[in-house]
Amino acid sequence: MRTHQNWWGVAVAALVVAWPAWAARPYRGGAVATAHPEASEAALRMLDKGGNAVDAAVAAAFTLGVVAPYHSGIGGGGFALVHEAKTGGTRVLDFREVAPAAATRDMYVKDGKVVPGLSTDGVTSVAVPGAVAGYLELLEKHGKLPRAVVLQPAIDAARNGFWVSPKYQAMAAMRRDCLRQDPEATRLFLTKNDKGEPDVPPIGHLVRQPELARTLQTLAKNGPKPFYSGPLAQAMVDTVKAGGGLLSLEDLKAYKTRTHEPLEGSYRGHRILTMPPPSAGGLAVVQVLGALERLRPKGMSYRDPEDLHLYAEAVRRVYVDRVKYLGDPAFVKIPMERLTSSGYIADLAGSIDPKKATPSASLLAPRENAGSTLKNPTDTWYDPASAPEKKNTTHISVIDKDGNAVALTTTVNYGFGSCVVAKGTGVLLNDEMDDFAALPGVPNAYGLVTGEANSIAPGKVPLSSMSPTLVFAKDDPKKVMLVVGSPGGSTIPTTVIQVISHIVDQGMDVTRAVGMGRVHHQYLPDELWVDRWGLEPATQAALEAKGHKLRKQEAWGDAEAVYSDPKTNLRYAASDPRNEGTALGQD
């Protein structure tokens, strides 16, 4: 009897060890993860119609812009990595917004101080949108399905409406005052409260966007031209100019997407491709993972305070590099080869004291070397206690049945972007200008400090944190194993790093990897953020004993990931349980 029990115990233990590989639902065909069920369903519909990963990702992107206007839309911009299984090649498309030609370095500064709200709220915060050019270029160059088919789910969603969810309510509450400033945004996104004032709509209220449906129909029929030089362009310019903003018809006509070589790194034998500048996110992913591999050659232990300390210290250091060097590569020379070299990463890892936290100010004095002329280092409107989950952006991960993959991160920046809807078009415009250093060294809405390299200039791309990332199978560097990305502004790279480490180091299934509590540092503020499910009290105490100042945050990020098992080719998709997304796949 006893022997029998022992055998049973061994069998259960073996099952537990083997479980992570097939804990989530497996799909034999394609799989997708997005931040909204309607977008995931739109993507799946494209796969079922014989479309590829690009058709699916673009359908999801257009749909997300309709049903989740608080994080993305055709008035925004983004980045995509597109991997073609047949050739093994990966293309990077950068369709991020650029500063209008009339933008100036100090446009948000008065009397030596950043004017609160000017770079986040209203027409003054609007950069030249790139999403339409980007989504449609992806479709034209890499998709299989007709434009009208791919845009149909978004058109239907705009016409028929979507119902207000708790997430919508939270975002609308955060941006209520901003939305109230714009009559079109008020009409579309708010409802009257008991006092007759525009307010957050009740759960279940249907948000219909008939003008946006017409705009999307125009794009489906005519492609991007009307958006950049036709009546849609004119409407956007008229709205922005009427409020005193800078966007011009010439800016829209001149808008061009950009292609880049993917930024390459590796982690424990897995090739990694991610987003190069003008994102700072991909570099952080490559540098931190590189440092962790050196610091812990046998792998990172899960939630071991010693390992968490090394992780936090590596992250702190790469965010210093961000301040010092990063901006739009078309405007500033970034020493990428040096920053990604094994010698540099070894030095970075070697500079970490395993016993105690390094004060951020000792690595780079705040405001100095960032090119700031500010006298008072406390001049900022950023509220460090503001919850990071309220910052926005969204990510789409897709792998199709043939192994083609898309990682697409897209944004209007802050919740509901600028809160300005171009009259008669339904186009909600971004506030991406806030991703520039309004004054080098002064934090933006994410509390993130960037330097002179990210100062404002006409036609320049604001520095981003968006980190769409592909991780490849160990024994086949051309076969995608994981597609991952997240919103969350400054926390995007650390969310991506932690998902990758959970899968590669801990062998976690993708669902758990995406759901686990998170830890974040960003150099300034000099705090280690721990999310609600982040760490046990004893672990927190051990980190505090090393000198980390912990700040508990409710939650952040919305990781969307698809994992393809290199051995079986079965796909597992995961949408962050912190939010309202869905992961779907084909049987």
Shortest Å distance, C-beta 486 to ligand GLY:
10
Of 466, 508, 524, 570, the one binding ligand GLY by CB under 6 A: 466
Which two tokens mark 200?
């957050």
Shortest separation between residue 325's beta carbon and ligand GLY, angstroms: 17
Instruction: Give the range of 174-182, 223-231, 342-350, 463-471 binding ligand GLY by CB under 6 A.
Output: 463-471
Interface segment toward ligand GLY; rule CB under 6 A; list 116-124, 268-276, 354-362, 460-468: 460-468
Q: Please state, as a whole number, how many other Cβ atoms lie within 10 Å of the Cβ of residue 14.
A: 10
Of 357 and 448, the one with the shorter C-beta distance to ligand GLY is 448
**Residue among 40 and 410 whose Cβ is closer to ligand GLY:** 410
Q: Please give the residues from 388 up to 407 whose contact with ligand GLY meets the rule CB under 6 A.
A: 393
Q: Is 383 exposed, middle or buried (0-12, 13-18, 19+ CB in 10 A)?
A: exposed
Tokens found for residue 157: 């969603």
Element (H, E) at 550: strand 550-553
Q: Would you give the binding string for ligand GLY spanning residues 347-386, x where CB under 6 A is met?
A: ----------------------------------------
Supply the minimum distance, in Å, between the C-beta of residue 424 and ligand GLY. Answer: 27
CB-wise, 80 or 151, nearer to ligand GLY? 80
- Residue nearest ligand GLY, CB atom distance: 464
Q: In this chain, which stretch among 138-146, 332-340, 462-470, 548-556 interacts with ligand GLY, using CB under 6 A?
A: 462-470
CA distance to 54, 73, 74, 294, per residue, from 61 (Å): 10, 8, 9, 37
Residue spans of beta strands (DSSP E) within 58-102: 77-83, 90-95
Question: 177: which DSSP letter?
Answer: H
Name the segment binding ligand GLY (CB under 6 A); options: 66-74, 299-307, 458-466, 476-484.
Answer: 458-466
One residue of 411, 486, 522, 564 binding ligand GLY per CB under 6 A: 411
Smallest separation, CB 326 to ligand GLY (Å):
12
If the CB atoms of residues 443 and 489 are measured against ligand GLY, the closer one turns out to be 489
Closer CB to ligand GLY, 96 or 167, in the complex = 96
Q: Which stretch binds ligand GLY (CB under 6 A): 16-24, 301-309, 464-472, 531-539?
A: 464-472
The answer to whether 82 touches 103, Cβ cutoff 8 Å, is: no
Cis ω for the linkage preceding 388 (within 30 of 0): no
Nearer to ligand GLY, 150 or 320 (CB): 320
Scan residues 432-451 and list those touching ligand GLY (CB under 6 A).
Answer: 435
> Which residue's entry shows tokens 């790279």?
493
The answer to whether the CB of 130 falls within 8 A of the CB of 93 is no
Does the protein bind ligand GLY through residue 558 (CB under 6 A)?
no
Stretch that binds ligand GLY, among 176-184, 340-348, 378-386, 461-469 (CB under 6 A): 461-469
- CB closer to ligand GLY, 322 vs 479: 322
Residue number with CB closer to ligand GLY (281 or 371): 281
Q: Is the dihedral of CA 482, 483, 487, 488 positive or negative?
A: positive
CA angle, 547 then 548 then 551, to 5°:
145
Per CB under 6 A, contacts with ligand GLY among 270-289 are none
Is the Cβ of residue 78 or residue 366 nearer to ligand GLY in the bound state? 78
DSSP output for 252-310: HHH---EEEPPEEEEETTEEEEE--TTBSHHHHHHHHHHHHHHH-TT-PPTT-HHHHHH
Asked if 227 and 169 count as a contact pair (C-beta separation under 8 A), the reply is no
CB count, 10 Å around CB of 538? 10
* x/- track of binding to ligand GLY for residues 480-509 (CB under 6 A): ---------x--------------------
Cα 226 to Cα 6, 239, 297, 310, 411: the distances in Å are 72, 16, 54, 51, 21
Size of the site for ligand GLY (CB under 6 A): 8
The packing angle between helices 37-48 and 147-160, to 10°, is 150
- DSSP string of 460-525, one letter each residue: PPPPB----EEEEETTEEEEEEEEEE---GGGHHHHHHHHHHHHHHH---HHHHHHS--EE--SSS
Active site residue 124: no
CB of 124 to ligand GLY, least distance (A): 17
> Which of 340, 430 has the CB closer to ligand GLY?
430
Residue given tokens 């991007």 in the structure block: 224
Binding track, positions 413-432, relative to ligand GLY; x by CB under 6 A: x-------------------
For 452, other C-beta atoms within 10 Å of its C-beta total: 17
What element of type H or E holds 411? strand 405-411
90, 124, 393, 450: which is the annotated catalytic residue?
A: 393
Q: What are phi and psi of 290, to 5 degrees?
A: -60, -45
Residue span binding ligand GLY (CB under 6 A) among the ranges 40-48, 109-117, 348-356, 459-467: 459-467
- CA distances (Å), origin 339, targets 115, 282, 288, 382, 391: 34, 12, 11, 29, 28
- Closer Cβ to ligand GLY, 427 or 510, answer by number: 427
**Nearest Cα to Cα of residue 220 among 141, 145, 152, 280:** 152
Residues 164-203 close enough to bind ligand GLY by CB under 6 A: none
The catalytic residue positions are 393
Residues that bind ligand GLY (CB under 6 A): 393, 411, 413, 435, 464-466, 489
